[in-house]
């Protein structure tokens, strides 16, 4: 205490200029420390995610995605998006006059981030299926809340002339926080839903009243490498209410697919080795949908099948598609070519 008193008295005796100088020095040292920690966290995060030195460059007008590592081009992907927002699907053989479709819904795991159009999940399935026309409606960053809004839009059915078919939605763990708005930032305007006391879904009309302050907080920490690194090391721990809401939105997706799209089968494909696959399957059991858990089918686990774009490789899509086609044939949903 005596030492603290002496330092306090000494501080009081300093001139205003010296006090300002000392404060500025303290701020500069603190800033240098934060910048150093940010740099170390960025290196650790990118190393952990296998994206160290990687730059992902998109050109939507040209339809290209180029991935560079240490300045060297390592992935050069081309794609086309039609007026319905679908990525092109390469399907060599489609039976003339077919009135059946296969619709793929999901996020970048479905659209095919980091792979060419003939290497997506939908295209790999299309290569083995001729009695259904395959459509890839995957969108980067999508989730059940966005998909539900997508398939209820008036013009969605206009892009699918076939009368009926199957719908495949690919689930990954990150869809849970996305569905409840956990990543929403200033300027975002994604659609969200909540459940009423009766168990029905209704749209969220005012996000900031639903999740006060969340957008501002997410915007503030969005560029923090320290936060990214700490989050990447954590096993996801989602509250029961978030899991319950996500399951309810998926259930509504299935209802809309059958009612408005004429779907004969709604399939939830759990991408291999998702932490919450079993939990979500329990919640969706008995809801008139097919649940496919593909955990364990990727040799060495999903991290061994991740491209420098941070997403499944062509080989991973091919393995998942092969298993899916086997399941579709076993259930009589599709016929062999």
For the stretch 277-302, what's the b/e string if a residue is b when 16 or more beta carbons lie within 10 angstroms of its beta carbon?
Answer: bebbbebbeeeebbbbbbeeebeeeb
Convert the pLDDT of each residue in 216-271 to its tens digit. Answer: 888 877 677 666 555 555 556 899 999 999 999 999 999 999 999 999 999 999 99
Q: Please, is 148 exposed, middle or buried when counting C-beta atoms within 10 Å of its C-beta (0-12, 13-18, 19+)?
A: buried
Separation between Cα atoms, residue 298 and residue 238, nearest integer Å: 25
For the entire predicted model, the pTM comes to 0.85
Tokens representing 125 are: 């399935």
| pLDDT at position 19 over 70 | no
- For residue 326, the tally of other CB atoms under 10 A from its CB is 11
Asked if CATH classification 3.10.310.30 holds for the domain at 78-330, the reply, yes or no, is: no
- Return the minimum-mean-pLDDT range out of 34-38, 116-120, 299-303, 306-310: 34-38
pLDDT score, position 257: 98
For residue 312, the SS3 value is strand
pLDDT score at 63: 87
115-136 pLDDT, tens digit each: 999 999 999 999 999 999 999 9
Supply the DSSP string of 107-147, one letter for each residue.
SHHHHTTTS-GGGSHHHHHHTT--SSEEEE---TT--HHHH
- The predicted pLDDT at position 39 comes to 59
């Amino acid at each position: 205490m005596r030492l603290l008193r002496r330092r306090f008295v000494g501080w009081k005796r300093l001139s205003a200029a010296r006090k300002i100088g000392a404060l500025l020095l303290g701020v500069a040292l603190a800033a240098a420390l934060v910048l150093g920690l940010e740099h170390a966290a960025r290196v650790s995060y990118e190393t952990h995610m296998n994206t160290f030195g990687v730059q992902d460059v998109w050109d939507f007008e040209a339809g290209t995605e180029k991935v560079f590592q240490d300045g060297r081009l390592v992935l050069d992907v081309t794609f086309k998006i039609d007026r319905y927002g679908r990525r092109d699907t390469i399907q060599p053989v489609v039976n003339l006059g077919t009135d059946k479709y296969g619709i793929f819904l999901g996020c970048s795991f479905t659209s095919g981030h980091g792979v060419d159009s003939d290497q997506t999940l939908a295209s790999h399935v299309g290569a083995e299926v001729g009695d259904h026309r395959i459509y890839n409606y995957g969108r980067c960053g999508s989730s059940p809340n966005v998909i539900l809004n997508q398939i209820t839009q008036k013009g969605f059915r206009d892009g699918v002339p076939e009368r009926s078919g199957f719908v495949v939605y690919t689930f990954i763990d990150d869809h849970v926080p996305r569905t409840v708005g956990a990543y929403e930032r200033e300027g975002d305007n994604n659609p969200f839903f909540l459940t009423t006391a009766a168990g029905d879904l209704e749209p969220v009309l005012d996000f900031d009243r639903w999740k006060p302050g969340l957008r501002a907080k997410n915007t503030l920490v969005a560029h923090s490498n320290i936060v990214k690194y700490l989050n990447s090391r954590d096993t996801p721990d989602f509250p029961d209410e978030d899991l319950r809401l996500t399951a309810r939105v998926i259930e509504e997706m299935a209802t809309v697919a059958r009612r408005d799209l004429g779907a004969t089968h709604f399939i939830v494909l759990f991408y291999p080795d998702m932490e919450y696959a079993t939990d979500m399957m329990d919640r969706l059991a008995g809801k008139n949908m097919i649940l496919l858990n593909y955990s364990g089918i990727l040799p060495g686990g999903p991290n061994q099948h991740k491209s420098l774009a941070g997403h499944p490789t062509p080989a991973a899509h091919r393995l998942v598609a092969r298993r899916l086609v086997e399941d579709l044939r076993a259930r009589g949903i599709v016929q062999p070519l």
